Amino acid sequence: MDEENSVLDTQRPPDGEVVLHYEQTAQPIVEYYVQPTPLPGKKKPQSAPLTPKKRRRGRKVFLVCLAVVVLAGAVITALYAAGVLGTAGGGYPGGYERYDSFPETESETRIPTYPNGDGTKLRYEETHGTELTIQEVYERVNPCTVTVMTALPDGSAMVGTGVIFTQDGYILTNAHVIVGGTECYVVLISGESYEAKLVGFDEEKDLAVIKVDGHGLPAAQFGDSDALTVGDTVYAIGNPLGVNLRGTLTDGIVSAINRDVYVDGVTMTLIQTNAALNNGNSGGPLINVYGQVIGINTMKMGSSTTTSVEGLGFAIPIASAAYMINDLIAYGEIHGEVVIGISVNIAPVVAADGGTALEVYEVVKDGPGDQAGILAGDYVIAADGERLTSSNDLIRIRRRHEAGETLRLEMERGGERYVAEVVLRESER
């Protein structure tokens, strides 16, 4: 995700901090499969030559980066078992033939759509229960992790992973799993298959929401990725390297937080982990020790002829992506994050009462903070009644709100207290 900027209440980085920008192009380590039989109700497509996949605008190579399709074996087997795809045949499990080159998928995404604006929201918990064993984490999250298969116009299929977040069938995945598709199917770990409709997606942010007509489905609990620290244990669930390895659980640590990954003109701010992420993990969950999904696995850095790379996986943090996911549900596209229109220093200062506060170093002209009377040099003591001990506290509380809502800030100027009623608004993308 993009770093907070001055419009989005940025934080001034401490002196000497080094932010890495990856200049090496992430390798497109995906596999595609060509269907020997058509999807339900479709004629068998004419065979077409497979050509190298052209780069899409922005971060096309990045989007196809981590494991889109070795999950294919799992979903295809399940779909055949469920009778969705007909009789299996061919040289690969489920009757699909494997191709190492990439099919052309520059066509428009034509997956049937689901109506927006029904009030559904993805919520993540800022608190958590007791720490779980690795077995308990797997038992809790694996049923919520699904296989997503997207049919492409030339008869090939892209396959990835998704995470159910409502019992009636809203599912979060990566945009590159569904882009260019004509139909989409979801398979649960139980083998049940559903036709999915597209709620919304954004290629640049690599996020997509799809919907199946389900009831009482196992829904994952989402947690606060902002609460992560380097060294925390995390887990990933996916289907690396084929049918026989589906549902694989891997573990590791948080290697870095707020890591800028720059690929093909686009920068995303991601969680870095050394948990093994291979073909098949794309769109799957990164999980904390409390069984909460705190990231969506999206890519890994691959080796080249000159560089050997191990243990560099990346996930989209849930805390910074939640508003985007909710925009996709409400509008089918991402509008913008709500902003206060002020920038504060990361390090807290001491207020007149001896407690902590955050010093405002910039106020956006005519922004919400400016209109509420906030000036540079003021101290922010509390937000919505919660005392602030770090700049992350202010960001966390702001993210609870939507555009048009009021954030109540307790302020200090020259040792005197005042209250700023800030009416939040959306940033411009």
Mean pLDDT (the chain, rounded): 78
In the set 154, 206, 327, 393, the catalytic residue is: 206
Catalytic hit among 154, 176, 193, 427: 176
Q: Is 215 annotated as catalytic?
A: no
Find the catalytic residue in 282, 320, 343, 427.
282
What's the pLDDT score for residue 89? 28
53 pLDDT band, cuts 50/70/90, is very low
Burial class (CB in 10 A: 0-12, 13-18, 19+), 210: buried
Give yes or no: 393 in active site: no
Other beta carbons less than 10 A from residue 277's beta carbon? 28
For tokens 């298959």, name the residue: 193
Q: Is 168 a catalytic residue?
A: no
* Beta carbons within 8 Å of 157's beta carbon, 6+ residues apart: 32, 33, 34, 35, 69, 72, 76, 96, 149, 150, 151
pLDDT tens, position by position, 223-276? 999 999 999 999 999 866 544 566 789 999 999 999 988 766 778 899 999 998
Question: Do 333 and 138 form a contact (C-beta atoms < 8 A)?
Answer: no
Structure-token match 């599912």, residue found: 171
How far apart CA 10 and CA 340 sit, in angstroms, is 10
**CA dist., res. 408 & res. 428, Å (int):** 23
Predicted model pTM: 0.76
Three-state secondary structure call for residue 423: strand
Question: Would you give the DSSP letter of residue 14?
Answer: P
- Residues 155, 181 contacting (CB under 8 angstroms): no
Give the C-alpha separation, 246 to 422, whole Å.
49
Span 387-403, mean pLDDT?
A: 91
100-109, 380-389, 400-409: least confidently modelled range = 100-109
Phi-psi region of 231 (alpha: psi -120 to 50; beta: other; left: phi over 0): left
Both tokens of 352, joined, read 């007149």
- Whether the Cβ atoms of residue 274 and residue 286 lie closer than 8 Å to each other: no
